[in-house]
Amino acid sequence: MTEEKKSLNFLEQIIEEDLIKGLDRSKLRFRFPPEPNGYLHIGHAASICLNFGLGQTYNAPVNLRFDDTNPTKEEQEYVDAIKQDIQWLGFKWAEELYSSDYFQQLYDWAILLIKKDKAYVDDQTSVQIAEQKGTPTKDGVNSPYRNRSVEENLALFEKMKNGDFEEGSHVLRAKISMTATNMLMRDPIIYRVLKKSHHRTGNDWNIYPMYDWTHGESDYIEQVSHSICTLEFKHHRELYNWFLKQVYDGDSLKPKQREFARRNLSYTVMSKRKLLQLVKDGLVNGWDDPRMPTISGLRRRGYTPKSIRDFSETAGIAKRDNITDIALLEFHIKNELNQTAPRVMAVLNPVKLVITNYPEGKKEILIAENNPEDENAGVREIPFSREIYIEREDFREQANKKFFRLKLDKEVRLKNAYIIKANSVVKDENGDITEIQCTYDEDSKSGSGTESSKRKVKGTIHWVSIPHAVPAEVRLYDRLFTDEAPDSHKDKYFKEFINPDSLKIINNAFVEPSLKNAKIGDRFQFQRLGYFNVDDDSTAKHLVFNRTVPLRDSWAKMDQKK
């Protein structure tokens, strides 16, 4: 057996080079650093699969670190949801850590910066500070407070900490340079006054450290070898290294920040801030709405952890920004469910069909394979009777030769059952068909081995026996946005592209009786229709199914019509 060697992604190449240069393999350590200000989305899954994947490849620990330095937006609910999602995806972190656990250490290091004359308290407003910042082509201006003495800075910083100053009145800034080409190096703010209760440290602190100051130092405390983040932090790398240099003890490991392109997915948005707006505006029914690109939304929709991991793997790690086609995600779930999902019959838009030559009151039990792709999946029993439901779309009184379903005077096979022929219809006063009358070929039962059972007819349609049918609600989803990149338009806000038809609820669907005891989360292929799972709203009395993904991509068809 030849094992195909996977080519290394560029981050693995960087690690390999570091190992060659002498980095001790046992020093490798990674982290996934979410801010608990929302639920994780499929973009985060890319970062999770990447970091935990590196952990697996190099047999190295991967920490879960909550980057919780902004108490105004962070909540315990998000912490819990993030942990649940990572576990569900199938990953185990080495340690659960919080940046807020380092508040004291970060404070002590800030004092160290002040003592080294590398930080100062600025009394100006944020507007004044911004005005002095300059532009990439214009030098900034020094703050009038830049040359305060160390003693004065220590005293003021202490007052900031003690809550003696109002929010927005004072900040602590790093003293780097107001003429640096990298704007982020122009005396960045490292602490601000914020009199907010923190979900973990309560009211202990009146000041909170800024992201740049916190992130690298947290990596250093945890001795993360490779701190992998997304491209927008590329310019922050210089600052990350500057901060590290200030606190470096001379012989610990110095973390290395490297960047990769964010995962964007077509027809959706991928920022917690924007997803929160959808939730707050009621445009979706919560973070786990099956239309959301969140991990919890995809889970509820019927996606499996494996399909998301496989998607992340195939979509790969890029150096440049790009948009991944959502069809790739759909491909992976279809591929998996094709192997694993039991086949069943469900009728979403029912019309009654009567087999006039089938004895009244007779019931037959037919045997059907659960999954032709899986020989261990076994068989199930399906009741058959004189009256069945079929899909309204599967019948036409007249149709051309390309219509392979049921039409008057023509035959089709009922899946797992008999060949029938349509003879007449009954209509209501509006001219709508209320009943299709057929006859069946008694010898044509599927699998019976008779000549008739081997007869080839053009079409096969699915059905559900009326006396045995179980009513169900079925929710059909479409793209949440009508535009491929809804947040890429300068003149339009992303919410203007919301698809008004992204959810269609069918209240009068019928499913075969084997589904009667289906449990929340169970996944099925509704034959000829798609893959469906039992929604969280489902109860024993009222079954609710989500369409995870149709068998065929209806959007592709729409595109062809254009």
The greatest distance separating any two alpha carbons of the chain, rounded to the nearest whole angstrom, comes to: 102
Nearer of residues 35 and 364 to Mg ion, judged by Cβ: 35
Q: Which does 268 bind (CB under 5 to 8 A by kind): ligand ATP, Mg ion, none?
A: none
231 is a contact residue toward Mg ion (CB under 5 A):
no
> Which listed residue (12, 18, 35, 373) binds Mg ion by CB under 5 A?
35
CA dist 538 and 206 (Å) reads 46
Radius of gyration of the chain (CA): 31
Annotated catalytic residue, options 12, 35, 75, 484:
35
In angstroms, give the least distance from the CB of 231 to ligand ATP. 9
Kindly indicate which of the ranges 32-40, 318-326, 435-443, 539-547 contains the residues binding Mg ion, using the contact rule CB under 5 A.
Answer: 32-40
In angstroms, give the least distance from the CB of 296 to ligand ATP. 14
Q: Write out the DSSP string of 277-298.
A: HHHHTTSSSSTT-TTSSBHHHH
Annotated catalytic residue, options 148, 173, 272, 380:
272
Q: Which does 262 bind (CB under 5 to 8 A by kind): ligand ATP, Mg ion, none?
A: ligand ATP
In angstroms, give the least distance from the CB of 33 to ligand ATP. 5
Active site residue 413: no
Nearer of residues 320 and 541 to ligand ATP, judged by Cβ: 320
Q: How many residues bind Mg ion (CB under 5 A)?
A: 1
238 is a contact residue toward Mg ion (CB under 5 A):
no
Tokens in use for 360?
Answer: 């009244």
> Could you give the C-alpha distances from 285 to 53, 139, 146, 279, 300, in angstroms and in order?
32, 49, 50, 7, 12
In angstroms, give the least distance from the CB of 258 to ligand ATP. 11
Residue 141 one-letter amino acid: V
CB 295 within 8 A of CB 40: yes
Annotated catalytic residue, options 262, 309, 475, 523:
262
Active site residue 77: no
Nearer of residues 274 and 528 to ligand ATP, judged by Cβ: 274
Q: What three-state secondary structure class fits 80?
A: helix
Enumerate binding residues for ligand ATP (CB under 6 A).
Answer: 33-35, 43-44, 46-47, 67, 229-230, 262-263, 270-272
Active site residue 159: no
> Could you give the C-alpha distances from 315 to 146, 262, 263, in angstroms and in order?
48, 11, 9
CB 67 within 8 A of CB 214: yes
Report the run of H or E that residue 109 belongs to, with start and end: helix 103-115
Nearer of residues 15 and 270 to ligand ATP, judged by Cβ: 270
Of the candidates 121, 156, 21, 40, which has an alpha carbon nearest to the alpha carbon of residue 87? 40
In angstroms, give the least distance from the CB of 75 to Mg ion. 15
CB 213 within 8 A of CB 105: no
- Interacting residues toward Mg ion by CB under 5 A: 35
Q: Which residues are the active-site residues?
A: 35, 262, 272
